[in-house]
Amino acid sequence: MTRNARDLEDLRSTMDAIDNDATRLAAVEQEKQGLDPDHPRMRELSQYAVELARRLERATLEEREIVDDASDAHPPGRPH
């Protein structure tokens, strides 16, 4: 597998993970909106939202790293 193909595969995988976690986070936030602050599930949902947000941060930083590495390997105007 070429570096370009590996970068593309890594990027797609990371983007899928970001999309999945963002979708889950949105669902958790929507569920929280329907609960009172003292509802028994609120603390659990809030903690899960924090975990998802941290994973999103790590994944988006990883995504940027993949893109930066790919850009460094293939500067504009240079054949891939």
* pTM (two decimals): 0.80
Indicate if the pLDDT at residue 77 is higher than 60.
Answer: no
Residue 32 pLDDT level (bands cut at 50, 70, 90): very high
SS3 content of the chain, % helix, strand, coil (to 5): 80, 0, 20
Question: What residues does each domain of the chain span?
Answer: 3-68
User: Which one has a higher pLDDT value, 34 or 77?
Assistant: 34
Residue 73 pLDDT level (bands cut at 50, 70, 90): low
Q: How many C-beta atoms lie closer than 10 Å to residue 78's C-beta?
A: 7
